[in-house]
Amino acid sequence: MAKKHKGPAIGIDLGTTYSCVAVWQDQNNTAEIIHNDQGNRITPSFVAFTNDQRLIGDAAKNQAASNPANTVFDAKRLIGRKFSDSVIQNDMELWPFKVVSGFDDKPEIIVKYKGEEKRLCAEEISSMVLTKMREIAEKFLESPVKNAVVTVPAYFNDSQRKATKDAGVIAGLNVMRIINEPTAAGLAYGLQKRESNIGKRNVFIFDLGGGTFDVSLLTLKGDSFDVKATSGDTHLGGEDFDNRMVHHLVKEFRRKNKVDLSGNARALRRLKTACERAKRTLSYDTEATIGIDAIYEGVDFHLLVTRAKFEQLNRDLFEKCLEIVKNCLANAKMDKNIVDDVVLVGGSSRIPKVQQLLQDFFMGKDLYNSINPDEAVAYGAAVQAALLCDGIKNVPNLVLQDVTPLSLGTSIYDDIMDVVIPKNTSIPIRKKQEYVTCYDDQSSVNIDVYEGERMVAIENNLLGLFNLKVRRAPRGLPIQVCFSIDADGILNVSAEEESSGNKKNITITNENGRLTSEEIERMIQEAEHFKAEDMKHVKKVRAMNALDDYLYDMRKVMKDDSVASKLTSVDKVRINSAMIKGKKLIDDNQPKETYVFVDFLRELKNTFDSALNKFK
């Protein structure tokens, strides 16, 4: 099959807490993880808004405690969900930023940017993170990048996948493919093992990240990678473990100091950051101290957390992970005895208790931890990106067969879910199902499309509904409904009534909370606007720095007697007062345009040069 795209193409792991970008390097026959401007291989999925700029990544996370209400994270937990979703209602309690219900129950995040209130949806925040990852890659490759493969949790539903794709479009990316995170990690594992000619192998991928948990069972044989089953929870990960610790410590602090932190966003943000750090310490040490000076009302925070306490606080969540592992094996109809490797992926898979539970379940089997759990997903995505492009050399010719995580169907009779495509069916797939009208002279039929495993349709997730006009006829008139899932795992439904020779094709319209093409267009324009504003800010900072550097050099020269002694006293006074003015210009917080600094620097240079020229 001809490849549609031309390189360069990147793989982006768009994580709840951190994101990672990689690119295939044909000179080295491998995918390379790209460092960001801070030299880090992973970038926080944080976006912040201030009075004069927008920040993304490390810069946003680093200022989170001082600007909690305008520092947005966890967009992946919001994306593709309704505001009324209980998951969002619960998470909101711990988010320092404000989330409100927008049109059609779509969550909107409210921030203050340059003194004005802005409403943003999760797709826009994610698009900003994607833009950052793209820029990191462009800097490294020294060329523009348009094509990308973006990963999503295997257990993401249709709305969450579509919303992620929309985020890519807003970021100006051509999202060639959406692939599942554990499958991408499977590719990374497979490439590592390829050299050793391993034959057929059943591989269990355990991917516990910052916000989501996914497991997949793959069978690898030569160059073919077949996903047999997948399972997961789109709301289970490191963030939940941190939150448990935060809740516990807020209670402890209240008990000891009679001070309640729970309403203070800044204190909670500082505590959350400290808890995340302590959690990491507890992965190699048995206790960790959390110390935060003057956390609230001048009281210092100083508490010790033991690994045992951390494990106790999260016990049910760790056990939930194990239930999902069992469920995946059952879906694949595979006994745990014939799993060859259990591969650890995602930062939270480093937690010793999680590893121990998993190892016990697999009867003492060594867990495979030779791939970097933070980077494997981006690595696999970069391989997939290279595979989809023309002209990229030395890419192994892998064939990937993924599955759909949730059953898809329609509601029939008294709200029974009629499954058209069962979960864990290989994708892409196209399946037709025939339905018939229920009444004589029926003029239209309603088709509701659901995803989920419950037998009662309304207990599942309603993806959309449509109404198809049909020829009036006695009951039993056949209607053909076609479900197709593309390689991104995204569903399209159409229906037709052929009997009169009058074919009608209808695609799903009333999609849950999906952005319209007009909204996406508006967001693309806004993204351009944000970019232009960012550039404006960068130029201003550069101009300020140039002035600051020049003032620094001048100060040094003025201290040098061999120079200063030769200047006239009038020139000395003029130069000194210009230097004081320049310093004031930089230090004072009044908003100023870039040209103010550029013009001042030019004038200053002229004053200085003409004074020096006099004594040459």
- Nearest approach in angstroms of CB 182 to ligand AMP is 11
Scanning 277-285, 434-442, 473-481, 520-528 for contacts with ligand AMP by CB under 6 A, the matching segment is: 277-285
Helices of type H across 417-461:
none
Should residue 266 be labelled a site residue for ligand AMP when binding is judged by CB under 6 A?
A: no
DSSP annotation string for 309-371: HHHHHHHHHHHHHHHHHHHHHHHHT--GGG--EEEEESGGGG-HHHHHHHHHHTTTPPEE--S
Scanning 342-350, 444-452, 488-496, 555-563 for contacts with ligand AMP by CB under 6 A, the matching segment is: 342-350
Q: What is the DSSP letter of 105?
A: G
**Whole-angstrom Cα Rg for the chain:** 29
In whole angstroms, what is the distance from residue 301 CA to residue 273 CA?
13
**Burial (Cβ within 10 Å: 0-12, 13-18, ≥19) of residue 197:** exposed
Q: Per-residue x/- mask for ligand AMP, residues 217 to 246, rule CB under 6 A?
A: ---------------------xx-------
In whole angstroms, what is the distance from residue 582 CA to residue 572 CA?
15
| Helix axis angle, 352-361 to 307-332, nearest 10° | 40
Q: Which of 182, 210, 380, 452 binds ligand AMP (CB under 6 A)?
A: 210
- Nearest approach in angstroms of CB 342 to ligand AMP is 17
- Nearest approach in angstroms of CB 398 to ligand AMP is 23
Are 513 and 80 spatial neighbours (Cβ–Cβ below 8 Å)? yes
Residue appearing with tokens 């967001």: 523
- Nearest approach in angstroms of CB 151 to ligand AMP is 11
Map the footprint of ligand AMP across residues 281-300, applying CB under 6 A: 283
Scanning 10-18, 23-31, 505-513, 528-536 for contacts with ligand AMP by CB under 6 A, the matching segment is: 10-18
Q: Which of 157, 348, 494, 512 binds ligand AMP (CB under 6 A)?
A: 348
- Nearest approach in angstroms of CB 382 to ligand AMP is 16
Active site residues: 13, 76, 181, 207
Should residue 17 be labelled a site residue for ligand AMP when binding is judged by CB under 6 A?
A: yes
Residue 74 to residues 83, 124, 616, Cα–Cα distance (Å): 14, 13, 62
In whole angstroms, what is the distance from residue 207 CA to residue 186 CA?
10
Q: Which residue lies nearer to ligand AMP by CB, 374 or 451?
A: 374
Q: Which residue lies nearer to ligand AMP by CB, 228 or 307?
A: 307
Should residue 347 be labelled a site residue for ligand AMP when binding is judged by CB under 6 A?
A: yes
Q: Which of 135, 233, 276, 341 binds ligand AMP (CB under 6 A)?
A: 276
Q: Which residue lies nearer to ligand AMP by CB, 270 or 514?
A: 270
- Nearest approach in angstroms of CB 374 to ligand AMP is 5
Are 214 and 179 spatial neighbours (Cβ–Cβ below 8 Å)? no
In whole angstroms, what is the distance from residue 541 CA to residue 537 CA?
6
Task: Give me 17's structure tokens.
Answer: 């807490």
Are 250 and 262 spatial neighbours (Cβ–Cβ below 8 Å)? yes
Scanning 262-270, 333-341, 348-356, 554-562 for contacts with ligand AMP by CB under 6 A, the matching segment is: 348-356
DSSP annotation string for 30-50: EEEEPP-TTS-SSEE--EEE-
CA 511 to chain centroid, in Å, comes to 22
Interface size with ligand AMP, residues (CB under 6 A): 18
Scanning 69-77, 346-354, 410-418, 492-500 for contacts with ligand AMP by CB under 6 A, the matching segment is: 346-354
Q: Which of 7, 12, 16, 91 binds ligand AMP (CB under 6 A)?
A: 16
Scanning 16-24, 264-272, 432-440, 477-485 for contacts with ligand AMP by CB under 6 A, the matching segment is: 16-24
Q: Per-residue x/- mask for ligand AMP, residues 358 to 377, rule CB under 6 A?
A: ----------------x---
- Nearest approach in angstroms of CB 68 to ligand AMP is 18
DSSP annotation string for 126-195: HHHHHHHHHHHHHHHHTS---EEEEEE-TT--HHHHHHHHHHHHHTT-EEEEEEEHHHHHHHHHHHHHHT
Tell me how crowded residue 349 is: count the other CB atoms within 10 A of its CB.
22
Scanning 129-137, 253-261, 274-282, 380-388 for contacts with ligand AMP by CB under 6 A, the matching segment is: 274-282
Q: Which of 8, 11, 15, 44 binds ligand AMP (CB under 6 A)?
A: 15
In whole angstroms, what is the distance from residue 217 CA to residue 230 CA?
6
Q: Which of 235, 272, 279, 514 binds ligand AMP (CB under 6 A)?
A: 279
- Nearest approach in angstroms of CB 365 to ligand AMP is 21
Q: Which residue lies nearer to ligand AMP by CB, 80 or 238?
A: 238
Should residue 91 be labelled a site residue for ligand AMP when binding is judged by CB under 6 A?
A: no
Residue 60 to residues 55, 168, 591, Cα–Cα distance (Å): 5, 20, 21
Q: Which of 57, 209, 232, 405 binds ligand AMP (CB under 6 A)?
A: 209
Scanning 256-264, 312-320, 341-349, 519-527 for contacts with ligand AMP by CB under 6 A, the matching segment is: 341-349
What lies within 8 Å, CB to CB, of 90 at 6+ separation is none
- Nearest approach in angstroms of CB 405 to ligand AMP is 18
Should residue 186 be labelled a site residue for ligand AMP when binding is judged by CB under 6 A?
A: no
Are 98 and 69 spatial neighbours (Cβ–Cβ below 8 Å)? yes
Q: Which residue lies nearer to ligand AMP by CB, 82 or 272?
A: 272
In whole angstroms, what is the distance from residue 381 CA to residue 106 CA?
29
Q: Which residue lies nearer to ligand AMP by CB, 215 or 351?
A: 351
Map the footprint of ligand AMP across residues 388-447, applying CB under 6 A: none
**Burial (Cβ within 10 Å: 0-12, 13-18, ≥19) of residue 418:** middle
Q: Which of 11, 80, 190, 346 binds ligand AMP (CB under 6 A)?
A: 346
> What does the binding site for ligand AMP look like in residue numbers (CB under 6 A)?
15-18, 209-210, 238-239, 276, 279-280, 283, 346-348, 350-351, 374
